[in-house]
Amino acid sequence: MTKRILGIDPGLLHTGWAIIESAGSTRKYIASGVILPKKTGELAERLAIIFNGVTELCKKFEPDEASMEITFVNKNPQTTLILGHARAAAMVAISVQNIPVFEYEPNRIKKILTGGGHADKTAVDKMVRILLPGANPKTPDESDAIAIALAHANTTQLQRFIS
């Protein structure tokens, strides 16, 4: 059974996205890109750009499932709070269309793709290109979104294998 997965790497400046197809052990690159809310302007308007962008992606590509990173509070809690807003805007756009959203810890995504939980962005990007021929991400956000989609595909394949 072929499953279409939407990977999202949310951010108030750049929200990376990727669509891949997964069937058994086969992965196929469909599309990827970045939603760019304007740099200035009210928070509410910028969230609306993310929401509308993700809504459009769901309508255009009709993914079966979506995958996102879990956000943890880091050294700058105020920045994390704003990231949480961007994340929620993307998440709710998917959820209101009844597409299930799966959440993964960042280290788990890195581990699934590279074997190590602390791989840097370059290592993740390299694995994305190896695992998904045709993918040519132009920014780290796009690369991360593909990684998030791939991690979900590999996790659910594994779960099917075990059960």
SS3 23: strand
- The C-alpha torsion from 5 through 86 and 97 to 54, rounded to 10°, is -60
Q: Quick one: 1 or 77, whose CB is closer to a copy of itself?
A: 77
Q: What is the DSSP letter of 70?
A: P
What is the rounded radius of gyration, in angstroms, for the C-alpha atoms of the chain?
15
CB of 50 to a copy of itself, least distance (A): 8
Residue 92 interacting with a copy of itself (CB under 8 A): yes
For the beta sheet containing 15-23, the strands, ordered from the edge strand earlier in sequence to the opposite edge, are 26-35, 15-23, 3-9, 65-69, 101-104
Active-site residue 69, yes or no? yes
The distance in angstroms from the start CA to the end CA of the chain is 16
Q: Which stretch binds a copy of itself (CB under 8 A): 1-9, 71-79, 112-120, 136-144?
A: 71-79
Stretch that binds a copy of itself, among 15-23, 49-57, 105-113, 127-135 (CB under 8 A): 49-57
Spell out, one character per residue from 104 to 143, where the chain touches a copy of itself: x when CB under 8 A holds, - when not.
----------------------------------------
Catalytic residues: 9, 69, 141
